[in-house]
Structure 1
Amino acid sequence: MPVMLPRQSRLILLAAAVLAALAGCGTLTSSARITTALTPYRIEIVQGNFVSKEQVDALQKGMSRDQVRQVLGTPLVTSVFHGERWDYVFTLKRQGVEPQQRRLTVYFQGDTMDRAEGDTMPSEAEFVTALDNRRKGGKVPRLEATEAELQSFDGKRTPAAAVVDQPVTAAPANYPPLETPR
């Protein structure tokens, strides 16, 4: 026969269960911090045409479509319904960085460029600096050797005459068969 607990005992057990569940939630927040610290690697996604400030500055009203294509490259979006405009869109998604998106629209009248509208584009140097996040605060290595370092290196090299005087072994005249004879 089942044992019936008094009403107060049931309330105490229910309160203990609720408190245990709430205590478990406190450990959940600390484990959530651990899972956010250990995130999987996400690849960088680069889509579209990067258009620099220098390229936009090279555009001039009256340029032909071929000349615009030589300066900016092939447009990412061309539409049958909007044949008088080319859209250049550039998107960059990187882990830990806000996604970047830049747009440039070139409008034509007939075969000649009328105008270009879009976002402010970074220069090539600014864009490369924004991409290179490997050396935050790091020291840039010296890329040139001094004359003294070059002279000390010259003394350590083996002279070319010593390499030429070494005997050369001849290649074998016969090679073993690739398959065993049947």
Structure 2
Amino acid sequence: MQNTKLMLTSLPLVGLLALAGCTIPGVYKIDIQQGNVVTQDMIDQLRPGMTRRQVRFVMGSPLITDTFHPDRWDYLYSIKPGGGQRLQERVSLVFDTNDLLIGLAGDFLPGTTREEEIMGGSGGTVIRKAPTEEAEEPIKPGSLLEEIQREVDEAESEPVPTPEPLDPSPQ
């Protein structure tokens, strides 16, 4: 009789200890990804005047199409590494009344593509930078970053040679 009471009271205690073992540090936790994966290459392919179909081809379907703002598409991506801090990125694309891309805002900014660097052109996309918690620090004189920036500013571009046309006449 005494042994059965001891067993009945110790059984829930053993069960609680077994459940507590599930939260031991070092247990593998999965990464949780949600939303649209957006890369800088995708943003660099966007050009003002692109249609909604062209933008959907480059970026994929938007995560949010707001009923009250039909001319705006929102792309959100978040990842929470197992046991780590959750990170989130956001991009909003704005279209005009003719369904042409006129601007973007968010965590990515359009860069210069390789073709634009060669040809010397620039896109006319309206850029609105998303507010950030910390302001960008100015470049300190004499730092490596200042030296690199000076070398970039002093670099001279060379025109790309154009190949001569092929002679269509037989020889």
Provide the TM-score with structure 1 as the length reference: 0.44
The structure with the largest helix share of the pair is 1
Structure whose alpha-carbon radius of gyration is higher: 1
